[in-house]
Amino acid sequence: MIVLTADSASELFTAACQAVLLNGRTACPRDLMTTEVVGAHLCLTNPRRRLVAVPPARVINPAFAVAEALWILSGSDDPWIFDFNDNLRRYADDGVLQGAYGPRIRRWGGSIDQLDVVARKLSSDRDSRQAVIQIYDPSRDHRGYRDVPCTLGYRFFIRQGRLVMHTSMRSQDLWLGFPYDIFATTLLQELMAGWLGVEVGEYHHHIDSLHLYAEHASAAAECLRHQPEVTEMPPISVAWTSLDAVLTQVISGESSLRDGSPWDTFGRVLAGYRVWKTGERDQARKLAHHTPGPLGTALTAWYEHLTPATLPSGHLS
């Protein structure tokens, strides 16, 4: 069991890499070798510092981080997410990721919006211990689909005027999964805090199997030689009644959000990456350069990372 606390996702990531490399043992599920720690509790004290960056060893695709978070929040399992991470196609059955979190969060059983349930629960009882979002569904997840959710669920508590969030995961790929998961979950936490009119508190990430695949172990070790970059995202909020409309605008690339808000930035990141995927690389770089804040910087770094003609296997692109 490891317990780690850090003020930024980058620092938490490198601390977790070190802990797994030092304390992990070999496990080979599906005949794939991993170094694994069974039982991990990772605490992020400032959830707005959600962007993992440890250049040059670990550079993430911020467009996919944004896309996945919005895909989940919108309740979608639509295939547009493959435009931002084509590697996900290998986990799809009949073109659909059967473990997609969005429909389970926004339409559990076809009708229950768990975001709404949690917000109502905590609005009526600020000390409630029943604010739970369930992800893992035995009725679906024992059918043999390629995509089985790693996340079991989320819990929320208001304590001392702050919203504290806990995530439970049966499994976490530290290298490929963690940087994107913590971006999405802490964004959800911040939005929920806004709907409840409270500050953002600590974020807690509980993992049964925290692991590094053998192909990523040397890169994880390389991270320990570099200084993690610490950046803080600007505050983001949206009225609950406007959430779905704003998500639709951002995802579709509508220009009416050109207001300098974080949602505007999200839209610019998605639009710019779509330009990159068409092959207009110089134009994409210009758009990234003009995208404000940490996400614009991260997108520029990602494009520089992709510049070599041959990419290492397993990288998200």
As a 3-state breakdown, the chain gives helix, strand, coil percent values, each rounded to 5, of 45, 20, 35
Are 52 and 58 in contact, with CB atoms under 8 Å apart?
Answer: yes
Q: Does 315 map to a domain?
A: no
| Cα→Cα distances 58→83, 200, 227, 305, 312, Å | 21, 27, 11, 10, 12
- Residue at 282 is within a domain: yes
* Cα 30–chain centre separation: 25
Q: What is the CATH number of the domain that holds 22?
A: 3.30.572.10
> What residues make up the domain containing 204?
2-306
Beta bridge mates, 118: none
Half-sphere exposure of 191 (CA within 13 A, CB side): 24
Whole-number Cα distances in Å, 128 to 118, 121, 122: 10, 7, 6
Q: How many domains is the chain partitioned into structurally?
A: 1
C-alpha separations of 215 from 58, 114, 175, 178 in Å: 14, 37, 10, 16
| Residue 314 resides in a domain | no
Q: How many CB atoms lie within 10 A of CB 22?
A: 10
Tokens of 63: 């467009």
Q: For 5-23, what is each residue's pLDDT tens digit?
A: 999 999 999 999 999 999 9
Residue 94 lies in a domain: yes
List average pLDDT for each run of 10 residues in the chain, which is 317 residues long. 98 98 97 97 98 98 98 98 97 97 97 98 98 97 97 98 98 98 98 98 98 98 97 98 96 78 96 96 95 96 79 41
Q: Is residue 14 part of a domain?
A: yes
Query: Residue 243 has what pLDDT?
Result: 98
Q: Could you give the CA distance from residue 313 to residue 303 in angstroms, rounded to a whole number?
A: 17
Convert the pLDDT of each residue in 45-87 to its tens digit: 999 999 999 999 999 999 999 999 999 999 999 999 999 999 9
Rounded to 10 degrees, the C-alpha dihedral 164/8/173/19 comes to -110
Domain membership of residue 317 (yes or no) is no
The CA-atom distances, in angstroms, between 270 and each of 86, 168, 205, 265 are 15, 29, 27, 9
Phi, psi dihedral angles at 218 (to 5 degrees): -70, -35
Look at residue 313 and tell me if it is in a domain: no
Do the strands 162-173 and 199-213 form a parallel or antiparallel pair, or are they unpaired?
Answer: parallel
Residue-wise over 145-158: b if at least 16 C-beta within 10 A, else e?
A: bebbbbbebbbbbb
Crossing angle of helices 281-289 and 293-306, in 10° steps, is 150
The reported pLDDT for the residue numbered 314 is 45
Tally the C-alpha atoms within 13 A of residue 102's C-alpha that lie toward its C-beta. 19
- Decide if 66 contacts 241 (C-beta within 8 A): no
Q: Are strands 2-6 and 34-44 parallel, antiparallel or unpaired?
A: parallel
231 within some domain: yes
pTM: 0.95
